[in-house]
Amino acid sequence: MLLDEKIVWFDWTNYSWRWDLSKARTSKYTSNVAESLLDKLETLPLATLNLLQCMACLGDSSPAEILAVAAQIEEHTVHSLFVHAKRTGLVRWNASEYSFLHDRIRAVTYNSLVREQRHKEMHVNVGKRLAERLPKQRELLFAAANQINLGAELIDDGDERLRYARLNLDAAIHAKKSADYRAAIMYLQAAAFLLRNVKDSTIAGVIEFHRAECEFATAELADAEARLERLWSSDIDLVLKSSVARLRTALYTMQGKHGVALDSGLSYLAQLGIAVPREPSDEDVARDSAKLIQYIDNAGLESDTQQRATANPLWASTIDLLGYLITPEIFGNNENLVHSLVLTTALMAVDRGYCSAASYAFVHAAAILAFRFGDAKRGLYLGEKALQLSPNDGIDRLAARVRVCFGALVVPWTSPVRSAQRYLKDAVKVARDSCDFTFAVYSHRNLISNLLFVGAPLEEVMRATEEAVDYARSAGFKVVVDALLAQLMVVSTLRGTYGHAFESRGLESDWSESLLHGVACTSTGAFAFWVHRLRICVLFRDWESALEAERKAKELSGASLGHIEAADLPYYGALCRAAAFFRATEAGGRDAHLCALQDHHNYIQLLARSCPDNFADRAALVSAELARVQGRIGEAQLLYEEAIELARKQDFVHNEAIALEAAANFYSAQNLSVVAETLLRDARYAYLNWGAEAKAQEIGARVTRIIGLDRAKPTPDMGKMHLDTRAVITASQALSSEIVLPRLLEVLIGNVLEHAGAQRCAVALNRMGDVRIEAEARAALDGPIYVIESRPLQEVDFARGIFMTVARTRRRILLDDASRFGEFAQDREVTQRGLRSVLCMPLLKQSELVGILYVENNLISGAFTEERTTLLEVLASQAAISLENARLYADTIQSDSMREAAEQALRESREELARVASLTTMGQLVASITHEVSQPLVSIASSSGAALRFLKRDEPDFVEVEEALKRIQFDSTRAHDVVQSLRSLVKRSAPSFAAFDLDDAVDEVLLVTRSQLEKHAICLDMSAISGACVVWGDRVQIQQVILNLVINAIEAMHDIADRERRLCIAGSSVDGHVKLVIEDTGVGIEEGAADYIFAPFVTTKSHGMGMGLPICRSIVLAHAGRLSVEPSSPYGTRFEVRLPEPGGRTFTKSESGI
């Protein structure tokens, strides 16, 4: 406007803006932006303004199609009406939608409705129009609900209020499926508002139920419980009541009220005439399992899930409820009740049809068959069928639960136990993503149980356990929190970090009170706690506590319910009983221990026969212990060897360590101390490999005691010196076990401070003549204070003169009273600090100065006796070796890191070069690609014009219109295929290896190059391709190779005029790999060129870089394949690419031509 009235103008002579202030002051324009925009709106035609207001109700932007529906006009009218709005700078077209040019424009437009009090009416009208397009256009669901809700109070008609309440319920259910529970609650609140004056509504209870489910999912448990209680006592139909009962069961389970959960569910089932006894007998469970086995053997599980799905919603919800009742009883100590619930649910699903809980019941039934009845074959069959059922439509709500139960309860008794981890990890992710807190925590717990059972590195197990504990505590799942803390107890105890692990989380010493004496004292978690306690007591040789833990765990064995800890009880229980047998002083006591040992032995033998991969090593060790107890020495010796070998075979490093330690005890009892000492050392290394530092330290102390007792009988006057000697030997072993420099320095100065009688000690290291303090420790009342930090000597208050003298002379300096006597009595730093006892010695390795050890004691003179000094020199010699090794290790790690970084940079450079080469190749195909895309576009334009003409006839010819539309559809698909092929060839992404059909990949490349082939009159022969050829690799990279070879072939035949230009592409499967041949009739290659043609920067083209074929070969080699070339006869070139099939053999370097 300012430009139009010449108030502001551009001076082209001076290239600057000019303005007329006097005219501006007298003009009618205002500085208020809103008023200026209102002026613009007033200039719009009424229809355009109305459309603009509709768009303001919808948001900042909207597609033209949606605007047309909202304003009840045709889509082309939208574009016409917005021509003026675009010119005045109010809206803009962004290829797919219209949007306001600025958020202030939308605000002013919407406020124009508010001033006239028409905004709510506009929202309702827009919402109704959008709702009319449902259900055909489901994407409008949320938009329609949102618009209705912004003016809901204007809707008076009861039928309309009910209709739009259902609309909001539908939106809430869709939001729940996307785990957007907050949005779902908002829609449910809106639905309840719309129903406030509607009587006899059948959906009010459904709305309340979904509201409770959302509150449960967002951990608003008190609100959910209150809402469910109101629903439970209200008059609702049986189907909804079943769902309420199911959710109440889950809620009470989450709160740890397992008895309440069970009572609530069973009381409702009784109303339906389904009686589940509270105390079923063994015979009841055996009878139900026999029925299920009979069904499996006679009929099997129906493969057609849809055919077997129950059509009765009441029975579906009832089976769901039975499935949910399984969970609370898992945490109880009533094995028969859990198994009865499981089998009742499974048999009901078999009889009445599958539903959501059927697969969940089947997987639990599979665990019962495998664990309780030892029927691994049928158990695995039923478990696998449960997995097949759970992902299907309509039966997927409990998919995460089925996977975790299969991994936790079926696999350990039927298959190699490590295979369960993928199911457990998937279940953790799915349950957390879907906000299924109960089973997210439960999945965490079972994953950690699996990691402990297979002997995974304890550092990894520690991380997983700490994450699980924190997640479970945030979710408020008390019972499983206790079970997880029991796992944290065993891991941290073995690593020697128990105090830190619990104190850092603010946990008191009585954290296990609930498992010992509280509401969870009979739960699965309590059973696991006592089994973990038994494991710790056995490993650390606390036999009395081990017997108590074994007794407690056996009392709770009914709560094990097939969890993997059930296999730890007979294993560690047998080791405990064997040790107790030899410690018993009375015959009766020995008989009791032998009987218990035999029971454990018999049970673990059953497990080993059912699944030897998981239990054979354990069975062998328990058999060895039994043979030892019964005096069968020769047999015991062979069984110990077998146990060690089987543990190594399955990579159960913890079981190997336990077997080695048990064998050492056996040989020690036979007075074969050398063999025992060797086995103990091997056990210590195995424990260290596992990550059980505290247990390794205990083994090391025992080795030291054995050496001391067997090899040194000290006289009374030498007792103190030998005591110190043993301490230094222990310290030396500790040093030899460390390789990481900071940890090694801490161990070194800690041991020196403890055993040398020093107040302060330090270690300086020599790095190419530069001596720097690397570690320092001071004695304090609360324990040593460590400083592990590299500092120059001048920054530390030590006597530098002493350090430099030792560094120069490489001899020790021992001062009994440094500030009064000796060569350093006048040293300023010595006198200022009043130093008394000082010992400074070089750390030498092959006469080379590695570092300097410094200790001081300013409380007494002569603190460092000659005996202590001699022993410290022994320690210093070990320290010098360990420090040098640590330095070399650190250098190696740094070198490896630099090498890996360089290799990564090289790989990235190669990938980028390959991409550049690919883009260069694609650049050569621009004309071809343009032709391939423009041809269908021209056809589309022609067909659309014909369709319009047929429609405009007095009597429209719909047959011809249909044919034209089919041609448009075909041509658009063709253009899309060309573009997609082009995108896949040039996109930049990380390599992604997978199985793919090589023929399809070739077809996509030829689609892009077809015009080039036609342009050069090249005949394409693909007759030699034999069926589908599936390879393993990165599809995009392999297509880049094929594209490069095809372009090379086209260019090689460019100047051929005396013979047919033919490109032959053949593919076949040979000996575990796929062979692709690309052969042309071009100029060929010279004799011997195959030896150097793949070298970088070698080219036969005037315009080539010489990088295409080297890149092709590097890609093929990275796929463990082979790329070769040879002249064709009588002319041309033949390239052969060989790639591995999925699971096929790969080529060695020599076979690949490297």
Over residues 540-555, the pLDDT tens digits come to 999 999 999 999 888 8
Tokens encoding 1116: 């093929």
Q: Are 737 and 696 in contact (CB under 8 A)?
A: yes
Is pLDDT above 80 for 1060?
Answer: yes
- pLDDT, residue 719, reads 37
| Angle, helix 543-555 to helix 524-539, in steps of 10 degrees | 160
How many domains are there within the chain? 6
Cα–Cα distance between 1139 and 1070 in angstroms, integer? 10
From 1130, 1126, 983, 1136, select the one nearest 1060 (Cα to Cα).
1130
Residue 708 has pLDDT above 70, yes or no: no
Q: Which residue has the higher pLDDT, 14 or 550?
A: 550
* H, E, C per residue of 923-969: HHCHHHHHHHHHHHHHHHHHHHHHHHHHHHCCCCCHHHHHHHHHHHH
Q: Give the end of a domain, one of 639, 672, 698.
A: 698
In a domain, 604, yes or no: yes
- Residue 371 gets which letter from DSSP? I
- 186 confidence band (pLDDT: 50, 70, 90): very high
Confidence at 987, pLDDT banded by 50, 70, 90 = low
Mode of pairing for the β-strands spanning 1019-1021 and 1062-1070: parallel
- 22 and 47 within one domain: no
Task: Name the band, by pLDDT with cuts 50, 70 and 90, for residue 639.
Answer: very high
Q: Is the pLDDT of residue 32 over 60?
A: no
- Contact present, 119 and 57 (Cβ < 8 Å): yes
Co-location of 84 and 224 in the same domain = yes
Q: How far apart are CA 63 and CA 75, in angstroms?
A: 10
Residue 121 sits in the same domain as residue 174: yes
515, pLDDT greater than 90: no
Write phi, then psi, for 926 (nearest 5 degrees): -55, -45
Last residue of a domain, one of 254, 281, 310: 254
CATH code assigned at 113 = 1.25.40
Rounded alpha-carbon distances, angstroms, from residue 501 to 57, 461, 488, 740: 55, 13, 8, 22
* pLDDT above 70 (res 824): yes
Alpha-carbon gap, residue 838 to 855, rounded angstroms: 6
pLDDT at position 906 over 80 = no
pLDDT band at 539, cuts 50/70/90? very high
Domain annotation covers residue 145: yes
19 shares its domain with 39: no
Q: Indicate whether 20 and 43 sit together in one domain.
A: no
Higher pLDDT among residues 326 and 1043, named by residue: 1043
- Nearest-angstrom CA–CA distance, 723 and 704: 11
> Is 675 inside a domain boundary?
yes
760-796 confidence digits (pLDDT tens):
899 999 888 888 999 999 887 667 888 888 888 888 8
Q: What pLDDT does residue 201 have? A: 62
Mean pLDDT of the 1087-1115 span: 73
Which of 94-103, 684-693, 908-917 has the least mean pLDDT?
Answer: 908-917
What 8-state DSSP symbol labels residue 782?
T
Torsion sign across C-alpha atoms 960, 964, 969, 974: positive
Band (pLDDT 50/70/90 cuts) for residue 310 is low
Q: In this predicted structure, what is the pLDDT of residue 710?
A: 47
**CA geometry: angle 435, 437, 440, nearest 5 deg:** 95
243 and 315 assigned to the same domain: no
Q: Which of 891, 923, 939 is the last residue of a domain?
A: 891
Beta bridge partners of 17: 10
User: Using 50, 70 and 90 to split pLDDT, how confident is the model at 1070?
Assistant: confident
**How high is the pLDDT of residue 31?**
44
Mean pLDDT calculated for residue range 33-46: 71
Tokens of 685: 């290394």
Domain range holding 303?
269-415
- Lookup: tokens for 941: 């334009």
Task: Indicate the average pLDDT of the chain.
Answer: 81
Question: 216 lies in a domain?
Answer: yes
878 vs 167, more confident: 167
More confident: 618 or 339: 618
Confidence of residue 730 (pLDDT cuts 50, 70, 90): low
Which of 44-48, 340-344, 665-669, 912-916 is predicted with the least confidence, judged by mean pLDDT?
Answer: 912-916
Q: Which residue has the tokens 């765990």?
A: 553
- Using pLDDT thresholds of 50, 70 and 90, give the confidence band for residue 626: very high
Question: 784 with 687, same domain?
Answer: no
In a domain, 651, yes or no: yes
Give 616's Cβ-side CA count (13 Å radius). 16
CA distance 725 to 719: 10
Decide if 808 is inside a domain: yes
Q: Is residue 707 part of a domain?
A: no
pLDDT computed for residue 403 by the predictor: 86
Mean pLDDT of 891-914: 72
Are residues 120 and 190 part of one domain? yes
Q: Quickly state the pLDDT bin for 572 (edges 50, 70, 90).
A: very high
- CATH number, domain of 1007, equals 3.30.565.10
Q: Which two tokens stand for residue 376?
A: 């691994």
CATH of the domain at 617: 1.25.40.10
Q: What is the dihedral of CA 488, 493, 499, 505, to 10 degrees?
A: -10
Tokens 């991969």 belong to: 613
Same domain, yes or no, for 342 and 393? yes
Q: At what angle do helices 524-539 and 565-583 cross, to 10 degrees?
A: 40
Q: Which residues make Cβ contacts (< 8 Å) with residue 1025, sequence separation at least 6?
A: 999, 1002, 1065, 1066, 1067, 1068
User: Tell me: the pLDDT tens digits for 960-970?
Assistant: 777 778 777 76
φ, ψ of residue 856 in degrees (nearest 5):
-145, 155
Do 66 and 20 lie in one domain? The reply is no
**Is 1137 within 8 Å of 1123 (Cβ atoms)?**
yes
Q: If residue 1125 lies in a helix (H) or strand (E), which one and from where to where? A: strand 1122-1127
pLDDT digits (tens, 9 = 90+) for 62-88: 999 999 999 999 999 999 998 888 888
In a domain, 601, yes or no: yes
Among 544-548, 885-889, 960-964, 1006-1010, the range of highest mean pLDDT: 544-548
Share of the chain above pLDDT 90, in %: 23
Instruction: Quote the radius of gyration of the chain (alpha carbons, Å).
Output: 40
Confidence band, pLDDT 50/70/90 cuts, at residue 927: very low
How far apart (Å, rounded) are the C-alpha atoms in residues 1041 and 580? Answer: 70
Nearest CA to 64 out of 74, 143, 100, 142 is that of: 74
3-state SS, one letter per residue, for 195-248? CCCCCCCCCHHHHHHHHHHHHHHCCCHHHHHHHHHHHHCCCCCHHHHHHHHHHH
Q: Looking at the predicted structure, is the pLDDT value of residue 445 above 70? A: yes
pLDDT tens-digit series, residues 743-756: 888 888 888 887 77
Please list the alpha-helical segments (H only) found in 19-149. Answer: 21-26, 33-42, 46-58, 64-71, 75-87, 103-115, 119-132, 141-149
Global pTM reads 0.50
Least Cα distance to 407 among 392, 428, 391 occurs for 428
Question: Mean pLDDT, to the nearest integer, of 95-123?
Answer: 88
CB-CB neighbours of 43 under 10 Å? 10
- DSSP string of 831-886, one letter each residue: HHHT--EEEEEEEEETTEEEEEEEEEESSSSS-S-HHHHHHHHHHHHHHHHHHHHH
Q: What's the confidence (pLDDT) of residue 393?
A: 40
Q: Which of 1045-1059, 1101-1115, 1134-1148 has the lowest mean pLDDT?
A: 1101-1115
Is residue 1046 a contact partner of residue 1063, using CB atoms and an 8 Å limit?
A: yes
750 or 984: whose pLDDT is higher? Answer: 750
- pLDDT band (50, 70, 90) for residue 607: very high
For 232-277, the pLDDT digits (tens) are 888 888 888 888 888 888 888 777 777 787 777 778 787 777 777 7
Specify whether 50 is located in the same domain as 187.
yes
Identify whether the C-beta of residue 840 lies closer than 8 Å to the C-beta of residue 810: no
Q: Is 854 left (phi over 0), alpha (psi -120 to 50) or beta?
A: beta
Same domain, 334 and 221: no
Please tell me the distance from the alpha carbon of residue 415 to that of residue 2, in angstroms, as a whole number: 82
